Amino acid sequence: MSNIISYGIGLPSFRIEEDKLFPPGGKKGMMRSICFSDEDSITLAYDALSDCLKVMNGDLIKVNTQIDGILFASSTPLFQNRYHASYLADLLNLQQGILALDFINTSRSGTDALLLANELIDSGKYKNILVVASEVCFPEIGKEQSTPFGHGACALLLSNDKGIANITKAKSYSASFAEEFSYKLNALQYDPRFSRDEGFKTNLADALTRFATNPRNYQAIVLNAMYARMAGPLFTKAGFEETPFAKDTLTAKTGNTGAAHALLLLINEIEQGKKNILLADYTNGTNLFEVQINEAPEHLSLQQALAHYQLIDTYQNYLCLRKAGNFSAPEYTTRDMFSSEMMLQREKETLLYRGGFQCVKCETVYYLRSARCKHCKGDEFKTIQLQNTGTVYSFTHEHYFPSSFPPITMVIIDLDSGGRMTVQQTDTMYAEKNKIEIGARVKLVLRKMIENDLKPNYFWKAIAHDE
């Protein structure tokens, strides 16, 4: 039995209503979560993981000695021949050489990773494992209505210590028949009248019968499947009552977030106060989990993320976000931003992990290393962890730097822990709504440095921070 110690959510700030996304048939009030032009599955996963690790006081220097595994899941991987899990472990300053695995290719990969993490904790060989599922994909232009999609990430910290919930039982039931899949880049979909009976109904019915020994014991039943509307009779036949079925209120607010969706649905029920939850996740086979809640989470991360968003007001702005970097002018073509891997590796403790320097004599804090303290001329410094919140000292607009929504705003921030740094502002599609003034409160978020770069260059950017 493994325990869920904490969880974290990564949802982009922007949503678009379906009637704007496909006017002929979209439903008003139904939304899809959409990444800003400098976000991707890595930045969303990092947001979710950072939120999850707040339980460890948000101090990444302390965290890196306690996590011994990280599992990443997505049906739309960003890298090839590079592990997303290893890359995220490095961004989080976790220990080198820990278990880091990717689960990709299907929308069930999020619970696949959760299943393995549970088994590894149960085995006693691992103590703390991070599971994160992140999804960022865009359908073909003009096919938004027929393609379920939404951008988001969810992270869970599993441990052998007591947490907010226990995974008391977990099992996977394979299925040889797949209703739809890709083969040699061609999408294949079998006759639904035959395939859903042969695949979904047959597999789920068998899995429920074998897994649920006491079907009337659950307060909430969560089913994540494309064919969920057809599942009622299957649960009834297996001895389940109708009342515990959890209504999917999440899809109307975010769209279907792929590999992250089942985990987000589970978190939604935990935040609703349900005590005994059955989670079923079907895609070419079923993963089943029995989750018992020990205590209500102190911070409702999902509800807070769902409540704060900006609406994309036109389809044209949606296209600007999804085609970020495809500029018409020749000088705005995809480019390789100047960067030095050697320099980034050498200065990673400062640049990425925000390891600042404090004068031992007068306690003045610096973001970048200084030979001598400018205040007292002392030359002895100690390393401290700089915070990710602060106040705007000054700003300027940069019109040359390529951007989907020029100009770029460069912000000088006085961090709450001390230290001063200069970063870009992000989420600036609507300048008036995201206006930053001197004295405004801001928060640092990890984003792509340039929207159309040829290699991953992530750094801190600033967003308005309502405390």
> What is the CATH classification number for the domain harbouring 19?
3.40.47.10
Residues 314 and 398 occupy one common structural domain: no
Q: Which of 270, 288, 322 is the last residue of a domain?
A: 322
CA separation for the pair 341, 209 (Å, rounded): 54
Query: Mean per-residue pLDDT for 193-222?
Result: 93
Query: Mean per-residue pLDDT for 328-343?
Result: 58
Least confident of 42-46, 179-183, 334-338, 458-462: 334-338
Residue 372 domain-assigned (yes or no): no
Per-residue exposure over 84-98, b if at least 16 CB sit within 10 Å of its own CB, e if not: bbbbbbebbbbeeeb
Task: Name the residue with tokens 């260059």.
Answer: 457
Least confident of 34-43, 83-92, 303-312, 345-354: 345-354
Query: Mean per-residue pLDDT for 349-360?
Result: 93
How much is the pLDDT for 329? 44
Which CATH number does the domain housing residue 401 bear?
Answer: 2.40.50.840
Residues 312 and 339 occupy one common structural domain: no
Q: Which domain holds residue 286?
A: 2-322
Residues 298 and 196 occupy one common structural domain: yes
List the strands of the sheet with 99-104, edge to edge: 99-104, 69-74, 128-135, 152-159, 2-10, 165-174, 285-293, 276-282, 220-224
Q: Which of 322, 356, 374 is the last residue of a domain?
A: 322
Residues 211 and 252 occupy one common structural domain: yes
141: pLDDT strictly greater than 90: no
Tell whether pTM > 0.95. no
28: pLDDT strictly greater than 50: yes
Contact 67, 88 (CB under 8 A): no
Residues 337 and 251 occupy one common structural domain: no
How much is the pLDDT for 29? 77
Residues 389 and 335 occupy one common structural domain: yes
Residue 40 domain-assigned (yes or no): yes
Residues 283 and 415 occupy one common structural domain: no
Residue 115's closest CA among 65, 175, 156? Answer: 156
DSSP 220-258: EEEEE-TTGGG-HHHHHHTT--STTBPP--SHHHH---G
How much is the pLDDT for 60? 43
Residues 318 and 335 occupy one common structural domain: no
Tokens of 370: 């200084």
How many separate domains does the chain show? Answer: 2
Residues 402 and 316 occupy one common structural domain: no
Residues 293 and 340 occupy one common structural domain: no
Residues 36 and 17 occupy one common structural domain: yes
How much is the pLDDT for 63? 60
Residue 369 domain-assigned (yes or no): no
Residue 166 domain-assigned (yes or no): yes
Query: Mean per-residue pLDDT for 88-108?
Result: 94
Residues 301 and 335 occupy one common structural domain: no
Residue 51 domain-assigned (yes or no): yes
DSSP 97-161: T-EEEEEESSTTHHHHHHHHHHHHHHHTS-SEEEEEEEE---PPTT-TTTS----EEEEEEEESS
pLDDT in tens, 419-456: 999 999 999 998 778 888 999 999 999 999 877 667 78
CA separation for the pair 445, 64 (Å, rounded): 20
330: pLDDT strictly greater than 50: no
288: pLDDT strictly greater than 60: yes
Query: Mean per-residue pLDDT for 379-393?
Result: 94
Residue 93 domain-assigned (yes or no): yes
Residue 419: how many other CB atoms lie within 10 Å = 21
Residue 373 domain-assigned (yes or no): no
Residue 283 domain-assigned (yes or no): yes
